[in-house]
Amino acid sequence: KLRDNRASYFRHFALLAGSSNIVTSNHWFQGDTSNDGGRTAGLILTRTNSRSTVTSNYIDNCFVEWVNEHDSAPDYDSEFSFSALNLSDNVFLAGNVAPWFTFLVIKPHGAGHYLNGLNINNNSFRIIGGSIAQVEHVDTSFADFDYNRMKGVNFTSNTYNNIEKRSESPFSYEFSRAGVSNDWSISLADHLPFEGWAQAVESVVAMGPLTNGAGQEVFAAPYVHAKQGASQNEIRLRWPEPVQGTVILRARMDDVH
């Protein structure tokens, strides 16, 4: 348990190599006033099956890094992989950072790993003196994730200020098509976290009438193709006839099984 601490201008606030950690009610901060300044990790977790909770902290001008650099055999080998980490109800703030800065970095040191239980909920993310592209990032210096195996990823109810991408999964999205087609292609690249694949669609609901080329209402439901496009971050809705209109869908970057 790591709680009720205040740390300023350390290179790292804490490096936790074990599991079953509770990090709560701390304030650690770094940074400087230079434009596009670099930042180091404030909290580093080096166990894949982390079983850790990080909650109600003030994480200021630094980031959380999750790695497996202490694993003597870092490739995936029938393990739990990167799993059982909860980040909730934290205040994330940074100023004068480069636009590629992120508040969460996951860095697999071996091939074949995936996310297997990660909850990032109810956090506040804010940038002052500029903006950043997104809050989360996979560092592929050594290896990338197996995105087809992702499961148990919940990235919801966070707030974003001066951050271009509002990452969310599951994600509710309203899509409108003005011309009739029986094959709708919808990109979710600007919404799913970790550049993840559009793995599953939980629901599709028409908002108002769907109409055909003659302007007549069509009472039909589509079926779904997930993991479409070159980056597998698109979905396709297939209709029994060409239609146009508006739908709200709910999609995920992980496998629902």
154 and 186, same domain (yes or no): no
With 80 as the cut, is the pLDDT of residue 34 above it? no
Cα-based distances in Å from 119 to 54, 168, 206: 10, 11, 30
Q: What's the pLDDT score for residue 31?
A: 78
Per the structure, how many domains does the chain have? 2
Residue 227 and residue 19: Cα distance in Å, rounded? 33
Does residue 133 contact residue 94 with C-beta atoms inside 8 Å? no
Q: What's the pLDDT score for residue 38?
A: 78
pLDDT digits (tens, 9 = 90+) for 1-28: 999 999 998 999 999 999 999 999 999 9
CA-based nearest residue to 194, from 167, 174, 176: 167
Q: Please check whether residue 10 lies inside any domain of the structure.
A: yes
7 and 93, same domain (yes or no): yes
pLDDT, the chain, mean: 96
With 90 as the cut, is the pLDDT of residue 153 above it? yes
Domain boundary among 161, 184, 215: 161
Helix, strand, coil tally for the chain in percent (to 5): 0, 50, 45
Q: Please check whether residue 212 lies inside any domain of the structure.
A: yes
Q: What's the pLDDT score for residue 256?
A: 79
Rounded percentage of the chain residues whose pLDDT exceeds 90: 93
β-pairing verdict for 22-24 and 2-3: parallel
pLDDT digits (tens, 9 = 90+) for 102-114: 999 999 999 999 9
Domain boundary among 161, 193, 208: 161
Q: Please check whether residue 166 lies inside any domain of the structure.
A: no
145 and 213, same domain (yes or no): no
pLDDT digits (tens, 9 = 90+) for 53-65: 999 999 999 999 9
